[in-house]
Amino acid sequence: MPSCRVAVLFIPANLLPQFQVEWSYYGAHWRLPNLAGGRWFRVGLPVLHVVSYNKLSSQEATNLLERIRPDLVILNEAHNLKDPKSTRTGRFLRYFEENPRTRLVALSGTFASKSIKDYAHLSRLALGEGSPLPLAHHVVEEWGTALDPGKVVAPPGSLEQLCEPGEHVREGFQRRRNATRGVVATEESALDKPLIIRERHIRPVPAQLLALIELAHAGERPDGEQFQEQLQSVACARQLSAGFFHRWRYPRGEPPELIEKWFARRKAWNKEVWEELKGERREHMDSPGLLTKAAIRAHMTPPYQGDKPVWHAGTWPEWAEIHAAVQPEPQAVWVSDVLVKDAAEWARSRVGIVWVEYPELGERIAKAAGVPFYGGGRAASEAILRETGTRSVVASIKAHATGKNLQQFSRNLVVTPPSDGATWEQLLARTHRPGQQAPCVEVDVCLHTQDFADAFTTARERARFIQQTDGQPQKLLLSLGHERVAMSHVPIEEEAEFRPYLR
């Protein structure tokens, strides 16, 4: 990049070990910039700071960009900054507002997973007036009603001007986006190997488990706790589909009255915190943890005299009075091992990756199968890359389904199917990628409950949105024609005959 002095590269934390290996490898063949904190410094070359998105979210990073003062920011897996309301995206946006001449390069295989709003702000900062998306937020909202996946889709309106006769509005938008100067949209070279995605039949599913899932959807946890929000109900039903549910336990034996008061005050405090975060976010005031420190400073005796901001939060005194009085601990309560046993049998009978959403589930499957579980953390990221593909492993979707080269495996079992099309694309690309030596890549998917079947259907709908608006072929929508068994190779409206409806 011409005249660049200081650059920042943001990457997911789980890709740091791989980055360090590749930096050393390519450094032997290419002229690379100076790496901040590196062993060498060459005059005349820019300095590159490599920062994880997790670090950008930490309290210590409230003014990280202001301290580095980059004139170029590079976002690898830029979709990590898709939510303008998050702490890290807020810090990123604040720096660009205060330093509008900073240049931005945003890279991602999937910018939008659910909505064009996922990357409208990134497109605006990178391309300015040349952005293919509207610059005004309310116009982005209007476009989204016609383009985004959902049960209710608005007419295309003025977007119809982008379309050829008989063309879907998303295809017209895709052409506009990909033809825009500054947008580099490449069609990933197809791997000349089949990708077979099929349902793994789990029989029998205990009637008691299905009844507990029904109970969760009705608003009640298996232990009798009533849910206050629909999201809690949905989350519990999904956990139960995996055989367990989460609850709080109180090892110190706090009385119910105290626990009830504790939760009520915590709820009031959290509500005030999030209301404050909706406004202008300032340094040392842009995350829940930093707001807590600001509230503590505001109520100090004697009064705080330092240079950091204070926050006179109305609910803080009552919350401060009680917050240490109750110390709940999360507990996983198992109600069925049917999925654990089935996944363990799969792992013992062949070599492949068992993909899971929940660490508790991953650990339980790994123990039953006698294979390793790789969850989050640097050690797990390094260890899974050392696997040779001679034994099965259990892997966290969140920790390892992005950016890892795992083509030493060719078989996959997705125990907890995600509902996000972009997550599926990343997960499938770990093994269905260049360098794969097997004749085909196989993916078995557990769809033994309606919740998991619905998640898979939603993922396909979102994958179709990505493919139609980005132009990037989605692996979840690949068609092999003759592979009728593979649910991902048939239209959504035909999937009913291939999956169980158990509720």
Tens-of-pLDDT digits for all 503 residues of the chain?
A: 778 999 999 999 888 888 888 898 888 889 899 999 888 888 989 999 999 999 999 999 999 999 999 999 999 999 999 999 999 999 999 999 999 999 999 999 889 989 999 999 999 999 999 999 999 999 999 999 999 998 667 888 889 999 988 889 999 999 999 999 999 987 665 678 899 999 999 988 999 999 999 999 999 999 998 987 899 999 999 999 999 999 999 999 999 999 999 999 999 999 999 999 988 888 999 999 999 999 999 999 999 999 999 999 999 999 999 999 999 999 999 999 999 999 999 999 999 999 999 999 999 999 999 999 999 998 999 999 999 999 999 999 999 998 899 999 999 999 999 999 999 999 999 999 999 999 999 999 999 999 999 999 999 999 999 999 998 889 999 744 333 333 333 333 333 333 332 22
Give the whole-angstrom CA distance, residue 49 versus residue 445.
40
E strands of 53-145, at which residues?
A: 72-76, 103-107
- The DSSP element (H or E) to which 93 belongs, if any, is helix 87-98
In terms of DSSP H, where are the helices of 350-494?
359-369, 378-385, 397-400, 421-429, 450-470
Q: How far apart are the first and last CA of the chain?
A: 57
Q: Which CATH number fits domain 195-206+337-498: 1.10.10.10, 3.40.50.300, 3.40.630.10, 2.10.25.10?
A: 3.40.50.300
Same fold, 6-179 and 195-206+337-498: yes
Strand partners, 355: 395, 414
Residue 57 burial by CB count (10 A; 0-12/13-18/19+): exposed, middle or buried?
A: middle
Give the whole-angstrom CA distance, residue 360 versus residue 382.
21
What are the structure tokens assigned to 419, written together? 């509902």
Give the whole-angstrom CA distance, residue 7 versus residue 102.
10
Question: Is 466 within 8 Å of 167 (Cβ atoms)?
Answer: no
Give the whole-angstrom CA distance, residue 326 versus residue 329.
10
Of 367, 370, 368, nearest to 391 (Cα)?
370
What are the structure tokens assigned to 441, written together? 């890549």
- In the CATH hierarchy, which fold is given to the domain comprising 6-179? Rossmann fold (3.40.50)
Verdict on whether the full-model pTM lies above 0.85: no
- Cα atoms in the 13 Å half-sphere on the side-chain side of 380: 18
Beta carbons within 8 Å of 114's beta carbon, 6+ residues apart: 148, 149, 420, 462, 465
Give the whole-angstrom CA distance, residue 270 versus residue 416.
30
Give the whole-angstrom CA distance, residue 465 versus residue 419.
13
Question: Is 201 within 8 Å of 447 (Cβ atoms)?
Answer: no
Give the whole-angstrom CA distance, residue 205 versus residue 216.
17
Strand partners, 76: 107
Residue 58 backbone dihedrals phi, psi, to 5 degrees: -75, 160
**pLDDT value for 127:** 97
Domain spans, the chain:
6-179, 195-206+337-498, 256-327
